[in-house]
Structure 1
């Protein structure tokens, strides 16, 4: 029989776990965090040209399709919120539906994935910072200096309370979205290259492109949206706030990036694919100069740097919360639950990840590795595979959790929507793995070694859970029980 956690209690009045302090974060605050973590400007400038160049103009429509599939997933995901009142997010739900060993294994994968993607994103942040300083101010500051400075600031923000982090990330996000919107309005209002066309949003555009390649890029834009549940204990009204934040985050990302992909196609018209392949890193700068002006292109350059840093900081916060959740369940040492008396920040977990990132950066510098092609690939490949895979397992867990007792929820919410989303996510995982050589731009063992990190870490987590079940059953029985006792 599957060993499932007993965390099936309903949280009255939408309150958080028993004994937890009342939260202060609204859905708007959490959406700011999620969108900032997705680095909307950094993603647009760095990934949309590649997606269009190698996958076709149907990229614009694929954002809407991917958002629809994730919205289906979110139906069951949100339904679980009322019955699993702790801040473990995906791993808590998998624990409840598929058992503690698999749940803990997934938690280990989530923690290492977020830790790696946060550290890996320091690479492009440092590269863009170096280029920006050189082009705007004529100051030659090598990327290692920017990388070490970024780690330092990330660590300092991690020691501050979450509301301050939300304000910082929210500022970045508003600036990024504003810049993207201004460029879009300028492109449309000044007359596009070949006239306004909706072809990029048509089914024909999708069919003519490389769907697998486009999906790999498009789903990366949504990475981190499930982190809404990590802030359950800080939310004003956990159930209602997290429901609004989850669906709101998916909608904002899908609509924003679809609009950006559509208007960049309009900006270059029939030559868009050629331009995207020839000058992918300069595509948005060219459009900015042509439709707005040189000053605007400079603003975009600066904000791209800030966008990458916002992503670094946001994934750092997510990592610390996974460490706290694991520590609270007794899976890793209790010291990770310690919080600052002044800011209430999980300072030990934050410091641990900061040191982890610092070690990776120093090793990268000493080995003479490329900060983007090596460091960023190391950080992004595990998460590119693990996020849709964890969402797939969560969708299955939702169905199994409610299989014997729907607990008053509709069949649509707990059976149909999760099942359909599970099928879609299984296809996405397959396509991501099938296109790994394209993603890394390398051949050989690295294309299975990097995704294999997830399997190794999953095995370690499962082994830890089984060890606890046989050696410390009193601690094992507490896994997933925080807030229910």
Structure 2
């Protein structure tokens, strides 16, 4: 059985609701996602973009009802993979673990490219100094590695500050638009069925869902949470409500700001400056300059959040003997999964190096390809988690039909439909219509199969073991 000594235990009662919410909301990158995804949703889905974000929020809330309820029964650092294990069986859990590792490795690696490109542009615009994106990528990877090695309290504090700043700069825009617009005339602007239902609705909805990537990581911090059976469910609800409410409000205000023109055409013609343009008009150039700086710090927050989440996946799976047991050791002073963090840092550095040696573009290749595959993997993982919740409560006598079966089932089916849509439109996510990149989705069933094969090895050598805190 896995060792239950302090060497294999994360620091208990070290994270409160606010700390976990900071990690999750930071992973969603409110500012970065708004600047990057909102123009795409408007360009494809038109004026109904706010309604699409509202639909995504509702579907994920339905899923979260059962997800949060199940987290009261399963407290570990294994995240969704552990929930799948408890709901659909150990082999399914290990298949989900393979998908989860692929998801977060891809997302983490891809976002390094985004940070390097944005950071290089920011340095050039402020100091008129050209800096190679490769240097920035390795520099920020080293900083993230340092934070991952240290006590998680420090990461939580840093993420809290960065998240508050990026949310405030967008709320400032929202308030400015509401104060200067006759929004009474357009109160339902963006939420009318005639605006939401459009030829591009499906693909636009897929991009809206992609903005919520990371909310499922609340369960990863169960072992470090104060009173986890209450903290994790609360953090899950708060995170989804904050992310969904924020995206819906901000896209609604963007629509109001473009009320006198064709918002879909504006997003298509001026993708990069789509939000910067109206922010300068309603708030001022100083705010837009600040927003560009906070966009870079927002991406750093994403890196830090994904790194911490993936470290806990590695830690939990190592403790189950699914991965080498050395990854499950905790630092005696920092109480962090430091070996997992070091291995992860080295692994991502190798991925970055491979793209660099191939003269890849940091955005068009590293970011788009890796984040597209990571997003597809997370949607698959969330879908598995949704059905695992339904299966888990089906076997419990005290289940409540609406809370544990009906509403979670609707959420799971909704996630399944979005996942199918994402698979069918992978070229839209990756920006590539032909070539070997279009075969990347096959990596997901491949790692799931590897997880199943490894599950047989684990059971044969150690029996049907599980996380010691499950």
**Bin for the TM-score computed over the shorter chain:** over 0.9
Does residue 164 of structure 1 match 2:154? yes
Correspondence list, 1:175-190, <5 A? 175-190=165-180
2:359 pairs, out of 368, 379, 388, with: 368
User: 1:147 Cα deviation (Å)?
Assistant: 0.9
Q: Quote the Cα distance in structure 1 between the aligned partners of 2:106 and 2:10.
A: 30
Range moving further from structure 2, 270-279 or 120-129: 270-279
Q: Quote the Cα distance in structure 2 between the aligned partners of 1:227 and 1:173.
A: 17
> Cα 1:341–1:126, aligned 2, differ >3 Å: closer, same or farther?
same
Matched-pair contact (CA < 8 Å) for 2:110–2:366: yes
Instruction: Tell me the number of residue pairs that the alignment of Structure 1 and Structure 2 aligns.
Output: 462
Structure 1 segments (4+ residues) deviating >6 Å:
192-195
| Residue of structure 2 equivalent to 1:404 | 395
1:282 pairs, out of 273, 283, 292, with: 273
Range moving further from structure 2, 340-349 or 77-86: 77-86
Q: Quote the Cα distance in structure 2 between the aligned partners of 1:86 and 1:319.
A: 14
| Residue of structure 2 equivalent to 1:383 | 374
Does residue 319 of structure 1 match 2:306? no
Matched-pair contact (CA < 8 Å) for 2:25–2:163: yes
> Cα 1:29–1:253, aligned 2, differ >3 Å: closer, same or farther?
same
User: 1:234 Cα deviation (Å)?
Assistant: 1.0
Does residue 264 of structure 1 match 2:254? yes
User: 1:152 Cα deviation (Å)?
Assistant: 0.8
| Residue of structure 2 equivalent to 1:228 | 218
Does residue 392 of structure 1 match 2:383? yes
Q: Quote the Cα distance in structure 2 between the aligned partners of 1:51 and 1:140.
A: 32
Correspondence list, 1:340-355, <5 A? 340-355=331-346
Range moving further from structure 2, 312-321 or 411-420: 411-420
Matched-pair contact (CA < 8 Å) for 1:192–1:267: no
Matched-pair contact (CA < 8 Å) for 1:19–1:483: no
Q: Quote the Cα distance in structure 1 between the aligned partners of 2:263 and 2:184.
A: 11
Query: Please, what TM-score do these two structures have when normalized by structure 1?
Result: 0.92
| Residue of structure 1 equivalent to 2:468 | 482
Range moving further from structure 2, 176-185 or 206-215: 206-215
Matched-pair contact (CA < 8 Å) for 2:44–2:201: no
Matched-pair contact (CA < 8 Å) for 2:10–2:336: no
Q: Quote the Cα distance in structure 2 between the aligned partners of 1:21 and 1:352.
A: 20
Q: Deviations over 1:254-305 (max 9, x none)?
A: 1101111111112122232122111111112212221122211110010000
2:231 pairs, out of 234, 241, 253, with: 241
Q: Quote the Cα distance in structure 1 between the aligned partners of 2:10 and 2:136.
A: 38
Matched-pair contact (CA < 8 Å) for 2:96–2:384: no
User: 1:20 Cα deviation (Å)?
Assistant: 6.9
Correspondence list, 1:323-342, <5 A? 323-342=314-333
Q: Quote the Cα distance in structure 2 between the aligned partners of 1:85 and 1:70.
A: 21
> Cα 1:83–1:140, aligned 2, differ >3 Å: closer, same or farther?
same
| Residue of structure 1 equivalent to 2:5 | none
| Residue of structure 1 equivalent to 2:70 | 80
Correspondence list, 1:284-303, <5 A? 284-303=275-294
Does residue 212 of structure 1 match 2:202? yes
User: 1:209 Cα deviation (Å)?
Assistant: 5.1
| Residue of structure 2 equivalent to 1:11 | none
Matched-pair contact (CA < 8 Å) for 1:41–1:307: yes
User: Any stretches of 5+ residues in structure 1 without a counterpart?
Assistant: 1-17
Q: Quote the Cα distance in structure 2 between the aligned partners of 1:291 and 1:446.
A: 44
User: 1:454 Cα deviation (Å)?
Assistant: 1.1
Query: Please, what TM-score do these two structures have when normalized by structure 2?
Result: 0.94
Q: Quote the Cα distance in structure 2 between the aligned partners of 1:122 and 1:214.
A: 25
Matched-pair contact (CA < 8 Å) for 2:189–2:256: no
Matched-pair contact (CA < 8 Å) for 2:329–2:337: yes
User: 1:377 Cα deviation (Å)?
Assistant: 2.1
